[in-house]
Structure 1
Amino acid sequence: MHLLSASCVCALTLASALLCQVAALETVTGLYGETLAIPCNKGAMKAEDVFITKWKYDKGDGLSGDLLVKQKNQNVSISATDEYKGRVSLAVNSSLLLSSATLADQRTFTCMEVVGADIAEYPVNVVVYKFPTELEISEQSEELEIGKLTKLGTCAAKDANPAANITWLKNNKPLLADGNEISIQTSVLVDPVTGLSTTTATLEYSAEKEDKNAQFTCSTRDAAGTELLSTPVTFTITYSTENIVLSVIAPGPLVEGDNVTLKCEADGNPAPTSFNFHLKGDVVKVENGDTYTITNVSRDTTGEYKCSLIENPSMEASEDITVNYLDINSSPSGNIVKRAGSPVIKKLSQQLSDDGLHEVLICDVEGFPKPVVSWSINGTLLDESAFVNGKITHKIKVVPSANLTVSCTVSNEFGSDTKPINVSSLNWKVRVDKQDQSDDSDQTKLVVGVVVGVLIATAVIGLAYWVYMKKSKQGSWKTGEKENGSSEEEKKLEEKVEENSQKAEV
């Protein structure tokens, strides 16, 4: 029996009739470079029932080429030439095995089987797929400018069959061309030798500020849905500074003696690296840095601080700094008694209150936050001034019954301080005042009495002397005594009077 290569011709003889059957065309898919198995009648016939199996292929232009033939109980006979020599073999189920599949193998292969008196042909269309080996992004832009359509890069899917479909993604979300902010241009190039296709897709993109850390990739999928993804790339997004922030960096609430750091940050990209720090009237320029440290702060450090861009001073930020502190200055008013050995203050009344019934103690305090004032003695609050500029005055009135030491204590969350004052007994002062007044009165009376006594004594002596002199003169005139004797007596009398007068003055 002779088997025709292109069609089935049925010959009728007196002994038998041959039935010619042509099967519907099916398609088999193979992978590039792999061994391709092309089934014969999908393996429906049992090998022991098949008398002859033959494989051939379509060479084009109405011509066919033989590959191999196998008759029952005989070995396979290979008749392949040209590109199929050494590449074909027959499987147990009569499938044609084709190694190292290429795109040239995309044609029709036909299996012919003789089973009993029937001859059947089973043509199979072969398609060879090749997935791109990789996706590569090239021609990347160095940076993207906000709002400007810029070429981001080109994604290439090389040596594929069929030509790959490329999709661009941002953060794993597909980008769709809109002709305005996103543009994708795709092209396909076929290798004339291998027949494989290289697809390129160029993305032009108008960036946003949020794209600063965005990851861009490209992908493609094979017929089975398997995805091939490129290595992600990121881009520098350039934009001008729109916001600036000044931060105060400190270990906690600031107290005098601490250090504080000012940090200036701007959102421009590339970010500014130099700033002006405004320090309560002074301007310090910091280049290649964004911090400035104030050491050993004091209460005078409290205030508003700013930082600004050197190239654009109007772009600035501000922050307040508050330094906490605590001071005390006690200035009591009242009777202050010095330590033993010192002279006592004389004018004690001047230290009493206006009504003379109590003493006033005053504690002047400086601190921030507002300190709490307390005394070591019970007293009546007279006044507490308003807390202004970190200062406060606290007054109490007391009536001490004995000499004692009174302490004023102030405190806030950053510390405390205590200072004592000595306060004398109010009863003691009143008693001393009365005693002083009594002593002064008695002394005055004594002096007045002495003076009056002296005056009276002087008058009596003078009167006696005058009487005596008068009598003496009368006696001399009557008796005729000499005046010399009288003179001596007068002299003695005068001396006596003078002596008594001096005693009286003393």
Structure 2
Amino acid sequence: PVKIMEFLWNSSAFKKFSLQVDITPAQGEISVGESRFFLCEVIGGAKEIDWFAPTSEKIEPGRLDISVIRNDETSSTLTIYNAKVDNAGTYKCVASSGDREAEATVNLKIYQKITFTNVPSPQEFTEGDNAIIVCDVISSPPPTVLWKYKGAKIQFEKDVRFRTLNNKHLQIQGIRKTDEGVYTCEGRIKARGEVDFRSIKVVVNVLPTIRIRQAETNATADMGFSTLLACDADGFPEPMVTWARNNVPLESGDKYSFNEDGSEMTILDVTKLDEGDYTCIAKNKAGESEQELSLKVFVQPKITYLESQTTTEMDEQVTLTCEATGDPTPTITWSFGTRVFTEGEQSPDGDVLVRSDARVSSLTLKYAQYTDAGEYLCTAHNAIGETAQPVYLEVLYAPKILGSVTVYTWEGNPANISCEVLAHPSDVSITWQRDGFQMPNANTSNIKIYNTPSASYLEVNPESQSDFGNYNCSASNEIGTESKEFIVIPADVPSAPSITQVQPYSSTAQVLFEEPESTGGVPVLKYRAEWRAVGRGKGVQRVYEVKDGLSSVTVTGLKPETDYEVKMSAINGKGEGDSSQSVVFKTEHVREPSPPILEGTLQPKGNSLKVKWTKQDDGGSPITHYLVRYKAVNSDWKPEIHLPNVSEYVMLIGLEWDTEYDVFVVAENQQGKSKPGTLTFRTSSEPAATTDSMEEGTGLNTGVIVGILILVCVLLLLIVDATCCFLNKCGILMCICGKPGQGTKGKDIETGKAAFVQDVSKEPIVELRTEEEATANHDAEGHHEPNETTPLTEPEQVTETATAVVDLPLSVPTNSDTVTDTFDLSQSSPVSESTTLTSSITAAPSDPPNPFHMTPPNSSTPKSHTKPSISSTPSPDPANVTLLVDLGDSPEPQAEVPPVVPSEEPVPVPPSPLSVVQPDVVNSKVTENRKTHATLNPISPQDSVAMPLVNHEHEIDGELPLAPDTDVPQDGSHAVGTAGSSGPSVPAQDEYGSLDAL
């Protein structure tokens, strides 16, 4: 059957009647812009295959939008590229072969997808305009357009400002800044379920608004000053600010400068020409705004005309003129020294007249005198400022003779008569005459004349009464001549001063007096004060120099509770006048000292203070020491500081910066403590760190490093030496350990440990006093230098006393020592520091004097305390002399000692020099005392004689010290021992800061 079919197919008869055309696909539907091809297949063997457009036009090969390709004898392909709506329709494929022909068609449908043809973004509008948001969209069929704002569908019925136009655009009437944001334009085709959208950013620009900071600005001209004009512009986008004056833009340069956004304009070196209106212009996309600002320029006064004048005394008149400019118009005033002239006549007689008119003022002087000559000041002032210039009035006048008419002197004492001359011109001729004769002459050998350009001095040395009387001085210049009589009068001694009040103390008294009614014609040079105990024949005198209006003197060396009488006389160059009436007073009883007067000096470093005090009345008993306390305000007090009685100041170091401090200083004697002298001060602010300080700190760090390296080396050497000592029995330690056991010296040092240390403070305060100091200041602790009138201490009594050495207070007679005739002119305090006081005590000497210990006299004691004894130590070698250490500040019970009775007529006795004590005698006494005293630093007899006794008291806040086992270097005693009254004492230090005391 197959062969039969092939035969029939190939037969010409069958071919003629069976030509067939098929198009694949049979139909098509595409969107605009898409491409599609169709395949035309012919059955029956076609010779030609052609394609025809919907317009029946044959589609020729070679077209760009529609392509026709013959694939082979039986097929052809039609391809449509980027289809358009116009390409839609029925396409026909025609196949022919001879007289045979067949065709097939295909219907092509082309639709428009949703297409946004014009959707600009962003779209900008100006606030307040009717904005139309453009969104052009096409499709086939036409789409439905929806509008959304920030993702939500716009409800047109709720806001009538929004509506959709016929062309699907969105209109917003009176758009606001709040309408700014993202809008969505969405197109839909319901038949195909197609949807598409575009986002549109809407920007609302705001027209600039300008805020003027100051509508009118004032400035001062010709001062080199600058002024600022400012306007703040708001808007969107940020507006750009420019400036103009008289419609001329202003640019940055030598005259104008602007900040970054242009809102501030600075006018440099303001002058009067800069005055006027300025325009601030703000511009952005929304538009332009401008505001006016005014600049008012004021001008300081300036004096433009002023001329000096010259006149002769008592001329009719002279006028000074002054002109000035300024804005506002200045007011002109005149002044002469401290006198200020006002407008109009200045005196009832109209001698001075001031007239002003606008910018001109004149000062007229009628009948000018020599006192009117000098510098006049013209001052012009307005609201902006003032200026002044001097003008000079020169007055020519005859000489004027000055000087005291009366001169006092006495025979044999030269006196100067001063003829001082004022004149203009100053070329003056001066002559002296007496009784019509010019001087000097052959008969006046006792008269000399000294001339200067402005004065002449006549020196008269009266030889007799005839030299007293009148002398004439004449002076002349080109204007005129003037003469003046001078009188030389004999001088007299001053009258007696008047004692108004006596303020007694225990050992001193302050005498207040009034000057003599008559000085005798010459100044009082000195005052003599004489005082004595009532009923005593011999008194004490002292002369006081007159300095700075002397009105009181201080008498010293008085005994407590004793009646005295005092009188005074005045001394001038002529001689001493009569004495005043005696005034009787009684000194006070022995009491505590008066508070010292404090004076503080802040040191250059800024956080250190030197507190200096002036000693006042000692209350009849010598001051034993000073107590210093200080604290920052609103803080606790620092530990109390003990200082020797010879101390005059303390240095407070390492204080806090910029802090207020209170300082109290108390003087203490055997009767008690004085009221505190007070001082308040503030330290400086802490200075900023400088390069020098940094360099200094670097140097210090380097020094520390070097010190550490040296210490490490020393430790290494010690380790090596110790190793050699224990292993090889050699080395430095071995040499030391191999020496004999501890001798007497070591024991003495161990015994003396308790005398120096207490466990209350790590840095105890040491009170230092030397024997020399105690003697010169009565020695309140009771130690007296041995001399011809003091009893010597018996060895037996020494061994019976307590081991702690105590100081007994002086008796009342001892506090009232005889005062030598020493003149002290210092009046800085009620107490004179330089008065020499000596004790005169009678007792028979029994043994050679012992310079290291004396038993104090068994006198009356204001306060008495008992202190436990300290165990004695084995006595040192007799050749070793030790320093005594006072372990307490209160007396121990003593053996009976004969009372010390002051003589009726005290006689000053100089201290016996220690250097004359024989070593043998010293050694014998030390041998007796060595069992009862702690010892340290054995020294030779010769050294012991040269070294003063030192009392070391460790005391904190007035409490007695404890005695822990802490050693003190041997050289410490020598160091403190040399700190006597003639040199600085050892500085005290506590845990709160360094203190240097003197």
TM-score, normalized by the shorter chain, greater than 0.5 = no
**Bigger relative contact order, structure 1 or 2 (CA pairs below 8 A, ≥6 apart):** 1
- Relative to the length of structure 1, the TM-score reads 0.36
